[in-house]
Chain A
Amino acid sequence: MDKILRIDMGAVGGPKTKETPLGEYAGLGGRAMTSAIVSKEVPPLCHPLGAENKLVIAPGMLSGTIAAMSGRISVGCKSPLTGGIKEANSGGQAAQVLARLGYAAIVLEGKPKDDTLYKIFINKDDVKIIPDNSLKLLPNYDLIEKMKGEYGLKIACISIGPAGERKMSAASVAFTDMELRPTRHAGRGGVGAVMGAKGVKVIVLDDAEMKMRSPKDPEKFKDANKRFVEGLRKHPVTGQGLPAYGTNVLTNILNEVGGYPTYNFKQGRFEGAGKISGETQAALEVERKGVATHGCHRGCVIQCSGVYHDKDGHYLTKQPEYETVWAHGGNCGICDLDAIAMLDFLDDNYGLDTIEMGASIGIAMEAGLAKFGDSEAAINLVKEVGKGSHLGRILGNGAAFTAKAFGVERVPVVKGQAMPAYDPRAVQGIGVTYATSPMGADHTAGYAVAQNVLKVGGDVNALKPEGQIELSRNLQIATAAIDSTGMCLFIAFAILDQPDTFQALLDLLNAFYGLDLTGDGVTELGKKVLSMERDFNARAGFTSQHDRLPRFFNTEKFPPHDVTFDVKDEDLDRVFNW
């Protein structure tokens, strides 16, 4: 992983490739790599779909090694959804394969002169950029079947569906999983639209004859990995809860505390929650001979995913995650798991962010285009996006765009990006992160609950109201650092409770790179990433006024607890004072 592959899609005479050494980007991976390149090389005032924007795809620092959980991949650019910097990450096989091919990043630059669509094939010998207009508007599943026919079964693919080709702001970039299905997505911020603007339909990776990346100290690395895996397996969340029920285990508990946004953020409880909970979903998967415990990439020991079969026992989609079940379920008043699974499949097939689409449909329902709870109508609305109809183009450009088109006032977005499945009036601390993250409303921006181990920000009294500001800051720093390693964020649960597991992670990094990294070093990396991102956004025109929740969160009481978001603006402005 000692080079960057740059592909100029707008070069005279057709796309041209160039391999460059890492240079000033040496030692970076994942989000640190994508944000460093975007921050330094992309003009902040450029149009996100224009030639000046760049799409950066980067495996994590430990991707391509035997380290468990190291299969995350980051996609960065200027976001067409938020207008600011974006990093969206995903599981799947591509991170491992790309890293083993030796690339720390692929950077798509420029813009084709016409509407020719390209596929890119990369193996150990060559990079081929092939015009292929037969791929136009193919949904992801059909596209991957075609690639399997052309390149065989030992590949990993990075692709866009029709939504990306049509440059919709909710378009995702898809990554194939272990079964070579396009089920893993860098969903947020419209990264798929930027790939579409570059004229790239699919990148096919083949790492035949390439070996695992070798650590500087193989014995220490092996030992650290063993301790790391043991830590994950003994923790109740990563060793039991997530494997048994997946992330959808959150539905029941969020609903019970009244923090589950329902009917487009009108209330905090959904009467149908038990019908779509992780517990119900896992039982149904087992009953239909699907799989309730499954990984999204090789080397995953948490296994929070699964395989969802339809009523006839045929594959329908991967196990929908909590955010998807909420967005298409409770948020739209839908309590039918089969309908939600179909919506998940359609989103994956068209290449759409499930959170953004669920929010768009919730707003469409509020506008009267369909009734809350009408699952058939919801499916038809997503199909409109797949068709590219005028209505579909409105919905596919996200919640804020849909709300403007239909005159809806309750728009749960920050910096233009739809809010995920936790209402910030009930869980105010996450509202601080939604408001201030450079990415827009993002539940993963402050997900890495490792602050107590990292000890960033000194001693914080979490029980005082102001503690929420410090905690959000520290969580965002820790998350930015973990996103750079290529590690799945779910390792954070074990790190929170088990300092020895966090030490094992540090030991993995140190043994691989020959470093002497400490918790302080990880903190500095996280701060560096956030500083780059905030600097980009400031140059793009963002001010403190963009670090706010929509006004209705301050004014509309949220049942059943009738609470409002009451963190003061001046406190939100302190989040990044370090």
Chain B
Amino acid sequence: MASFNEMESDSNGLSHLCFVVDETLISRFLLLLQRGFLIKAHIGCSVRRFLLEEIGLNSDAIEKIQSVILNGKPVDDLDSAIIRDGSSLALSAAVPGLVGATLRRGGRYSSFRSTITYEETGAQCFSGEGFVRMKLFNLLLDSLGRDFLKKGIYLSAADFKDFLAEQSSDFWQGCRDVFLNGKAAGLRALENIVRLPLSARLMLSVNVPHGDF
């Protein structure tokens, strides 16, 4: 996955926003990741290879991802399902209930959802750089989401405006600085974002004032 800085250099006029916020606000930004965001990455590989090489997970971390949903369909075999340009990939830790168990990859109850299980078509796919729409759910928001926020994600202006509209006053108090296209711009930077058409795409990254989070 390309880092935020790399995105800046190849972004062709996209607005790049970098929020520097109090640690307490990170959880608010993490919630954005459940609704979907884009990353630029190498595509044309299996889901497992994508998770290992593009997202940077190790085998243990992949084991904790109990449900993998590719283009809206639960995946059982991470090695045969292929990530293509424009694919949608949602990741979830274990969730409760019979249906939760049913949606686990390769689980005993997978036959319960056989009509919607992902089956690789074998259709030709381009190998190179492309966009993948990611969603992170539940415990994975915290365990994987921080890295995405640090490196930067692509969002539609509509989604980001929705996010801003939902924030209360304490959110703005916790925003220490905002950088627009690499330059400190304060909250005034958001005026430019508000003027973007809803379909426009922007890049967002989040950090804390000093050190890692």
Contact = CB atoms under 8 A, between A and B. Distances in A.
A561 B34 contact: no
Given A241-B95, A429-B102, A452 B108 contact: yes
Interface stretch (A183-191, A340-348, A442-450, A517-525): A442-450
B113 A427 contact: yes
A427 B34 contact: no
Interface string A84-113: 000000000000000000000000000000
Contacts of B116: 257-259, 426-427, 561, 563
Given A241-B138, A493-B96, A563-B115, A258 B72 contact: yes
Contact of B95 (A249, A443, A452, A462): A249
Interface stretch (B49-57, B86-94, B147-155, B194-202): B86-94
Interface string A246-276: 0101101110111100000000000000100
B110 A446 contact: no
A147 B113 CA distance: 48
Interface in A409-426: 422, 425-426
Contact of B31 (A259, A280, A422): A280
Interface string A284-306: 00010000000000000000100
A428 interface: yes
Contacts of A278: 138
A311 to B, nearest CB: 9
A241 B103 CA distance: 15
Contact of B96 (A247, A259, A274, A277): A247
Contacts of B113: 257, 259, 426-429
Contacts of A280: 31, 34
Given A250-B96, A259-B116, A561 B28 contact: no
B64 interface: yes
A426 B113 CA distance: 6
A257 B64 CA distance: 19
A368 interface: no
Contacts of A449: 98, 101, 108-109
Given A237-B94, A256-B90, A429-B102, A463 B111 contact: yes
Given A236-B64, A258-B72, A427-B99, A468 B112 contact: yes
B112 A429 contact: yes
Interface size class of A (residues with CB under 8 A): 35 or more
Contact of A283 (B28, B66, B94): B28
Contacts of A237: 94-96, 100
Contacts of B97: 247, 250, 443, 447
Interface in B102-124: 102-103, 108-116
B161 interface: no
A399 interface: no
A446 B34 contact: no
B111 A250 contact: no
Interface of B: 27-28, 31, 34-35, 64, 66-67, 69, 72-74, 90, 92-103, 108-116, 135, 137-139, 141, 168
Q: 7 shortest A-B CB distances, which residue pairs? A: A429-B112, A274-B35, A236-B94, A252-B137, A563-B115, A256-B90, A462-B111
